[in-house]
């Protein structure tokens, strides 16, 4: 509680400090804009009045000069008077002393003022006092971590009954990292986080966005998850398949070579869920996705003994025999899952014995359940795939 309270105080103080700085900057910018408007109006309005004043002052000065010249003509002797009066008369006729420049009427002269609406303060006050909330707990919390080979299935749930979520946002980071990064944004309440290093702690947190809202809710309390299961990997070196850098994705390439691509090791254990997610290519009835007791070179499909699989057309095979129950055809982006639990019929020893696994295969929201009888105990199994045509891509986890 103390840590979250301290963090919340820091967030609030930083946010309002930034907000004050931004508001001051905006107000300063608005003030400068209005002052510039005043300058422009003043300069444009005063220019014709200045010109008019200059004309009037020039006319007054000219009239004053003429008046002094007339006084001088009157005060001189008779001979000079006639000449001066003649010059004075000529000059007076050429100067229009009875004309003035057009002066704008008072109503046409601008008179600047500032209109400042006090309701802005009321609006800002109402908005500020509604800005920000403090929540005692986030509306969503992390609920469960499920270990997967090379991954963690993260589940979360809504804890605020009044909150209507539109989207969720999941983040994670290694325990040694300083920053979280987005790993999922969407409407689901669980997500498989892949590329997880085994036996390394990761921190997770989740938040949500309310229906019709833009902002995200507060983050949930960070929780730590890890997986002790090594990631599933396809084996390297088979000519017909190209692998991703982590070897968890296999792509059927253009090579004419065919065969079954197996896992690097028997890393599938009973009690786990094995998942295949694929991008589809041209299907063939000999295509297969499934598990087997052992790797066997020379086969072109898992439709054989000591193996269970599903074909891309949805047919299910157990020890090479097709079952009457059938699943939907494999589609691009869909997942095929295998779940197995042990049902032992007889004593299990190193020499072998009756051994039964209850198998559930799911695809496109449908599933088949059957018992797979083996002549030996199997603590772990290989997985594999085979495709006749290029374009198929399979992610396993």
Sorting pLDDT into bands at 50, 70 and 90, what band is 352? very low
**What angle is formed at CA 298 by the lines to CA 294 and CA 303, rounded to 5 degrees?**
65
175-209 pLDDT tens trace: 888 899 999 999 999 999 988 989 999 999 999 99
In this predicted structure, what is the pLDDT of residue 109?
75
Rounded mean pLDDT of 210-234? 89
DSSP classification of residue 263: B
Sort 378 into a burial class: Cβ within 10 Å, 0-12 / 13-18 / 19+.
buried
What is the Rg, in whole angstroms, of the alpha carbon atoms belonging to the chain? 45
**Rounded Cα–Cα distance for residues 117 and 124 (Å):** 12
Rounded mean pLDDT of 62-72? 78
Sorting pLDDT into bands at 50, 70 and 90, what band is 224? very high
Provide the percentage of residues in the chain whose pLDDT is more than 70: 94
Sorting pLDDT into bands at 50, 70 and 90, what band is 98? low
- Measured from the Cβ of residue 218, the count of other Cβ atoms closer than 10 Å reads 19
**Rounded Cα–Cα distance for residues 268 and 96 (Å):** 114
Sorting pLDDT into bands at 50, 70 and 90, what band is 350? very low
- The phi-psi region of residue 20 (left if phi > 0; otherwise alpha if psi is between -120 and 50; otherwise beta) is alpha
Counting other chains too, the contacts that 208-214 makes at CB distance below 8 Å and 24 or more residues apart are: 208/139, 208/140, 208/158, 208/163, 208/165, 208/166, 208/167, 208/168, 208/169, 209/165, 209/166, 209/167, 209/168, 209/169, 210/163, 210/164, 210/165, 210/166, 211/164, 211/165, 211/166, 212/166, 213/166
Rounded mean pLDDT of 125-148? 86
Sorting pLDDT into bands at 50, 70 and 90, what band is 87? confident
Q: Is the predicted pLDDT of residue 68 greater than 70, yes or no?
A: yes
Look at the alpha carbons of 265, 270, 272, 278 in this order and tell me if their dihedral is positive or negative: positive
152-169 pLDDT tens trace: 999 999 998 888 999 999
Rounded mean pLDDT of 332-345? 88
Exposure on the CB side of residue 91, measured as CA atoms within 13 A:
16
Q: Comparing 117 with 263, which gets the higher pLDDT?
A: 263
In this predicted structure, what is the pLDDT of residue 351?
47
In this predicted structure, what is the pLDDT of residue 97?
60
Q: What is the mean pLDDT of the chain?
A: 87
In this predicted structure, what is the pLDDT of residue 51?
78
1-46 pLDDT tens trace: 788 788 889 988 999 999 999 999 999 999 999 999 999 988 888 8
Least confident of 108-122, 144-158, 188-202: 108-122
In this predicted structure, what is the pLDDT of residue 101?
63
Distance of CA 216 to the CA centre of its chain: 12
Q: Is the predicted pLDDT of residue 81 greater than 70, yes or no?
A: no
């Amino acid at each position: 509680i103390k840590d979250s309270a301290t963090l919340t105080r820091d967030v609030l103080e930083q946010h309002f400090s930034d907000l004050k700085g931004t508001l001051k900057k905006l107000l300063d910018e608005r003030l400068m804009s209005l002052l510039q408007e005043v300058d422009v109006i003043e300069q444009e309005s005063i220019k014709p009045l200045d010109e008019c004043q200059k004309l009037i002052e020039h006319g007054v000065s000219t009239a004053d000069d003429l008046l002094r010249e007339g006084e001088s003509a009157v005060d001189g002797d008779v001979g000079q008077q006639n000449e001066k009066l003649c010059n004075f008369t000529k000059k007076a006729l050429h100067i229009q002393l009875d004309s003035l420049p057009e002066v704008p009427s008072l109503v046409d002269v601008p008179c600047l003022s500032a209109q400042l609406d006090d309701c802005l303060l009321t609006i800002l006050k109402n908005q500020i006092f509604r800005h920000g909330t403090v929540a005692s707990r986030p509306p969503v919390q992390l609920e469960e971590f499920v270990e997967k080979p090379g991954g963690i299935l993260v589940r979360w749930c809504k804890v605020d009954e009044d909150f209507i979520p539109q989207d969720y946002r999941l983040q994670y980071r290694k325990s040694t990292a300083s920053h979280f990064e987005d790993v999922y944004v969407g409407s689901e309440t669980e997500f498989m986080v892949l590329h997880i290093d085994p036996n390394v702690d990761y921190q997770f947190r989740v938040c949500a966005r309310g229906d019709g809202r833009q902002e995200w809710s507060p983050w949930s309390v960070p929780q730590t998850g890890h997986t002790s299961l090594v990631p599933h990997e396809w084996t390297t070196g088979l000519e017909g398949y190209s692998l991703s850098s982590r070897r968890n994705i296999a792509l059927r390439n253009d090579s004419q070579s065919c065969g079954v691509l197996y896992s690097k090791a028997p890393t599938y254990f009973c009690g786990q869920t094995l998942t295949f997610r694929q991008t589809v290519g041209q299907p063939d009835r000999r295509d297969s996705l499934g598990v087997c007791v052992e790797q066997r070179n020379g086969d072109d499909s898992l439709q054989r003994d000591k193996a269970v699989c599903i074909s891309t057309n949805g047919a299910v095979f157990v020890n090479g025999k097709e079952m009457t129950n059938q699943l939907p055809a494999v589609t691009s982006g869909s997942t095929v899952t295998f779940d197995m639990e042990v049902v032992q019929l007889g004593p299990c020893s190193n020499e072998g014995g009756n051994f039964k696994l209850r198998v559930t295969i799911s695809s496109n929201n449908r599933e088949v359940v059957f018992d797979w009888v083996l002549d030996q105990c199997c603590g772990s199994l290989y997985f594999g795939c085979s495709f006749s045509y290029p374009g198929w891509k399979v992610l396993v986890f």
